[in-house]
Structure 1
C-alpha cells in the first residue's frame, strides 16, 4: 500500500531503548562524504519501525533494508524468493509450501525457522496488535479474518511442516497471492523478538533478516543503518545507510548540491531549473505504477452521497491544466484508475470529461442550484510536499471558479493525516495509491469494494462488487482483465475518485552512485549499491 506516523513519544522510546545521540545537524556531513555510507533524505519521520504496522511508501523504503518476507520483488517486477529459497503450489492452487533458506539468519545470529514464520504471521493478525494492514494483505489465507476478528485463537491456514518448511492454505485460488504476499507487513521477525500483541518501540526488538541493521534513531534528524555482514545474500557493498529527516524540499535539494546526500527525489517545480544546470546529467526519470487522486467521503459529507454531486465536482476539475501547466508536464494525466505498468491499464478509460457547464447543471439538478448553500468543505492534503499543495490549490480553485463552491485548504502532518484516514474521517482529500503488486485488483476491489479494507469513504455499488468478485477469482488473465475494465468504468462514472495523474518520479543521483537495483515499485534493497 504505499500511502504516504511515527509519534515522537514512540521515537523517544526507541532512542531510550538503545540508540545513541550524537546531536548536531547535517552541515558536518560533507567532510566525510568519502565514507562508504549512502545518504539520502526522507521527508518525514518514519511512521513506524514495526513492519506489521507500516502503511506508507517512505517508511517501506527504509524498513525494506531491515526486514524481509518469504518473498519480495525482483528487478523483473515479479515475486522472487527472499527468506524462502523456493515455493511449490498445489495442483488446486490452494496451498503454497515455502522452504526457508538454510543460511537465512536474523540480525541476532539465530537461524530462521518455521516457528518464526508462523509467529510473524500470527503476530500481524493478532487483534490486540491491531495492524492496519493485516486483513488488507493476508485475508486470502484461511483463518486470517477469523483470527483478526477475535473469533479464532490461531490462523487455521498456517502449518509447520518441519523446521524449515511452512505451508499456507488459501480460501480459494488467488491469481495475485504471491504478489500480495510480498508486502512488507508480512516480514519475518524472530519469535523471541518483538512482543506478540504490541508494536515495536525499542531498537532491541527491531530484528529482521535484511541486508542492513538499525543502529541509531534520532527523531527529526536521521535513522542510521549498518551493513549486515551475515546477510544470506552476501554482505552489501555499502558499510551503511543514513536516512536524513528533511521536511523542506529546498533544503533537500540544497544538500544534494552541496554533496551532503547522494540522491534526492525532486518536486516538479525544481526540475526545469536543473535541466540546463551542472546537474542535468544526474537527473533520472522513473515511471511508477501509482495514481494521485481526489476522494470524496460519503460517510462524512452528506452531498457526496449523491452521484450527481460527485460527478459535478469531477467535471469541474481541469486535470490537464494541473498536470501540464501547474506540475510541469512530467506526470501523465490519469484517464483511468489502473496505472501504466499494471496489467489492465487502458489509455482511454471512460473518465468523466472536464466540462464546467455540465458540472453546474448537474450540481443544480442534484439540489444545489445555489452552491453557497452547500455545507462547508475542506480539502486536506499531506504537508511538506510542494507538489501536493500546488495540486490541491488548483483543485480548490477549479471548484470555486467552475462550480461556485468554496473549498478551504488544510495541510496536515503526515501522521495525523493517516490516523484520520484510517478512522474514515477524511472528508475531501488529495491522496496517492501506489501498487503493492502489479494487478488491477490492487486498485479496484482492494480499494473500493464495499468491504475492502482500504475503502475509507463509504462507497458501495453491488454491480462493482459482483464484477470484481468474479475477476478476483478468475485465474485466466485473458478473461479477468476485461471484467476489471467493466468495473473500472463503473468507478469512473460513479466519480468515487477524481483521477489526477499517474506518477513519474524525478531524482537526482550522484555520479558516485552505482549498482542501484530498480523495479517499477521503486528502489529495491541496497544489496548491490556502491559508492565510488
Structure 2
C-alpha cells in the first residue's frame, strides 16, 4: 500500500508539474500572440494574408471621398464603385487604361448577328474570398438580383428576355432588342459577380468578392482598408494592404504627401499636383478621363436658350478654346458631347469658333425686350470659369449677365426645378451623351432629328455601327448648339517614388490596384 501511495504521489506531482508547464507555455503563447496581433494590426496585415504568404508592405492612399456605404448594389455613389471594382469585386467584362473592353470573369464572349444573344465563357477555378466556388450559377443569380431588386443603374442592362447557364462555365443572355452598350454595362457595377451562397452578408460594411483584395476595415466617410487575398485566382497582389484615407482639404493632402504620411493621392486635384511638383521624392502623372466640362443650356420653352439662334450666338460668343487652354485640369477643347475615349468621338471644336462679330449679328435680330438678361447659376467650384464666361458675354450690350454663385444644396434644387438658363457642370461617363436625346433630362432639349439619330445608334448590332451612329448623333446635337462643351478633363496622380504599378487614366471612375508595389 505504501509503494502504491508513493507512486500515486509522484504521479500527482508530475501532473502538477506538467500543468504548471502547460500553463506557463499557454500564457507565454498568449503574450506572444497578443504582441504579434498588435504588430499585425499595426501593419494592417491580416492573419489570413500572413498564412498565405502575403507581402508585408502597406500603401496609404489619400482620396477625396471615402464612401458612406460599401453597398454598390443600392448606393448610386461612384466612390464605392471606384474603390472596390477590380480590387475586391470582379466584373464579367473590364476596361483597360484606354477605356477599351477586355475580358474579366468572362474569358470570352460571342454576340449573335442580330445582337439579341450574348454567350459568355466564365473562368474556371475561381473562388470568392470565403473560398466558395464561383461559377455560372453565381453570374446568373447576380444578374437576376440586379433586375428583380432594381440595383442602381439597372436600366443599362436593357430589355432582358432570359439569363441562363447551360453548364458551369457558360452564361447566355437573351435580349428582346439590341443593347449596344450591354458589354459596357457589364464592365461596371452591374457586371459584378456576387456569391449566391454568401448568406446575410452586411454589404454596407463588408464584401465577399473574387478580387485580389478583401475588405479589412471600413469607417464610413473616413477610411477603408483593403487586405491581400491569398486565395485570388489571378496574379497575386504585391502589397499586403492598402489604406484609403479621406482628405477633404487640398492643403492637408499636399502636406501629407510631402511629409510621407501618404504614399499615393489619386485622383489628386490640380492644386495638389502643382504643389507636389516641387517635391523631389514625389512623382506627378497625368491621365485621360471621360469627364466633360460644359456650359450647359436649359432648353425648356420658358428659357432664353430655347431659341436656336440665341444658343448658336452664345457658342460664338464664348471662347471655349481659350477657356480650355487656361484650365489646369483641361486635356483639351471638346466641342461635342462625346470625349476622345468614348465610342463615336469626333473633333467638333471647329463648329462654333469664337467670333464676336458673328455673335453680335445673330443677337441683333432680337428686340431688346426679348433678350434683356441671362442667368448663370454655378457652385463655388466653377466661379472662375463662370466669371470668364460672364465677361465674354458682356462684350455685347444684350443680354445682361446675372451670375449667381450658390451653395451645393441650393444649386441642386435650382437645377432640379429648372430655374436656371446657363450653368457649368461636368458629365462623367461613357455613353452619357444620350441625355440630349431625352426631353425630360435636366437639359430639356427636344429635337426630333437628334432623338431619331440616337434611337438608330441604340439599335446598332455591332460596335462599329454604334460608334458611327453615335458620331452622327453627336454632330446633330452640337450643330444645333444644345450646349457648349468646353473641354475634357485630365486626372492627376501624385505618388511617392517608392511606389509603382498604379493606373493613371480613368482613375476618377475605377482604380485597379492589383499591380501596386512599394519598395
Partner of 1:22: none
- Of 475-484 and 486-495, more deviation after overlay is shown by 475-484
Deviations 1:426-461 (A, max 9, x none): 84543323343xxxxx143x3322279xx4332221
Counterpart check, 1:410 vs 2:406: yes
The structure that has the greater radius of gyration is 2
Counterpart check, 1:525 vs 2:519: no
Instruction: Tell me, in whole angstroms, the C-alpha distance in 2 between the residues paired with 1:249 and 1:301.
Output: 40
Deviations 1:104-137 (A, max 9, x none): 22233322243332332223233xx5544111x2
In 2, are the aligned partners of 1:52 and 1:133 still within 8 Å (CA)? no
User: 1:275-286 counterparts in 2 under 5 A?
Assistant: 275=277, 277-279=278-280, 282-286=283-287
Partner of 2:91: 69
> Residues 242, 348 of structure 1: CA spacing in aligned structure 2 closer, same or farther, 3 A cutoff?
same
Counterpart check, 1:181 vs 2:186: yes
Partner of 1:230: 231
- Of 232-241 and 308-317, more deviation after overlay is shown by 308-317
Counterpart check, 1:169 vs 2:171: no
**In the TM superposition, what is the alpha-carbon distance from 1:213 to its structure 2 partner?**
2.0
Deviations 1:50-82 (A, max 9, x none): 223455554432121222221112356432332
Instruction: Tell me, in whole angstroms, the C-alpha distance in 2 between the residues paired with 1:158 and 1:171.
Output: 12
> Residues 226, 426 of structure 1: CA spacing in aligned structure 2 closer, same or farther, 3 A cutoff?
farther
Counterpart check, 1:40 vs 2:61: yes
Counterpart check, 1:354 vs 2:354: yes
Gaps of 5+ in 2: 1-41, 44-54
Using the size of structure 2 for normalisation, the TM-score is: 0.76
SS at match of 2:256: helix
User: 1:117-196 counterparts in 2 under 5 A?
Assistant: 117-126=139-148, 129-135=149-155, 137-139=156-158, 141-142=159-160, 156-193=161-198
The alignment of Structure 1 onto Structure 2 pairs a total of residues equal to: 461
In 2, are the aligned partners of 1:364 and 1:370 still within 8 Å (CA)? no
Instruction: Tell me, in whole angstroms, the C-alpha distance in 1 between the residues paired with 2:294 and 2:198.
Output: 39
SS at match of 1:405: strand
Instruction: Tell me, in whole angstroms, the C-alpha distance in 1 between the residues paired with 2:302 and 2:269.
Output: 32
In 2, are the aligned partners of 1:467 and 1:487 still within 8 Å (CA)? yes
Deviations 1:324-382 (A, max 9, x none): 23x248531223332223344333455433344554565565666475555xx45234x
> Residues 60, 398 of structure 1: CA spacing in aligned structure 2 closer, same or farther, 3 A cutoff?
farther
SS at match of 1:503: strand
Structure 1 stretches (4+) deviating beyond 6 angstroms? Answer: 416-421
SS at match of 1:282: strand
User: 1:81-480 counterparts in 2 under 5 A?
Assistant: 81-126=103-148, 129-135=149-155, 137-139=156-158, 141-142=159-160, 156-193=161-198, 202-204=204-206, 206-264=207-265, 265-269=267-271, 271=273, 275=277, 277-279=278-280, 282-298=283-299, 302-325=303-326, 327-328=327-328, 330-356=330-356, 358-359=358-359, 362=362, 365=365, 369=369, 377=375, 379-381=377-379, 388-399=382-393, 403-412=399-408, 427=420, 428-436=422-430, 442-444=431-433, 446-450=434-438, 455-475=441-461
**In the TM superposition, what is the alpha-carbon distance from 1:418 to its structure 2 partner?**
7.5
Instruction: Tell me, in whole angstroms, the C-alpha distance in 1 between the residues paired with 2:68 and 2:352.
Output: 35
Counterpart check, 1:514 vs 2:500: yes
SS at match of 1:406: strand
Instruction: Tell me, in whole angstroms, the C-alpha distance in 1 between the residues paired with 2:297 and 2:386.
Output: 14
Aligned mate of 1:80, from 84, 90, 102:
102
> Residues 202, 504 of structure 1: CA spacing in aligned structure 2 closer, same or farther, 3 A cutoff?
closer
> Residues 298, 157 of structure 1: CA spacing in aligned structure 2 closer, same or farther, 3 A cutoff?
farther
**In the TM superposition, what is the alpha-carbon distance from 1:408 to its structure 2 partner?**
0.2
Using the size of structure 1 for normalisation, the TM-score is: 0.74
In 2, are the aligned partners of 1:352 and 1:492 still within 8 Å (CA)? no
Instruction: Tell me, in whole angstroms, the C-alpha distance in 1 between the residues paired with 2:237 and 2:92.
Output: 19
> Residues 369, 256 of structure 1: CA spacing in aligned structure 2 closer, same or farther, 3 A cutoff?
farther
In 2, are the aligned partners of 1:283 and 1:508 still within 8 Å (CA)? yes
RMSD across aligned positions (CA): 3.7
**In the TM superposition, what is the alpha-carbon distance from 1:168 to its structure 2 partner?**
0.5
SS at match of 2:133: coil
Deviations 1:5-30 (A, max 9, x none): xxxxxxxxxxxxxxxxxxxxxxx99x
Instruction: Tell me, in whole angstroms, the C-alpha distance in 2 between the residues paired with 1:125 and 1:418.
Output: 29
**In the TM superposition, what is the alpha-carbon distance from 1:258 to its structure 2 partner?**
1.2
**In the TM superposition, what is the alpha-carbon distance from 1:395 to its structure 2 partner?**
3.6
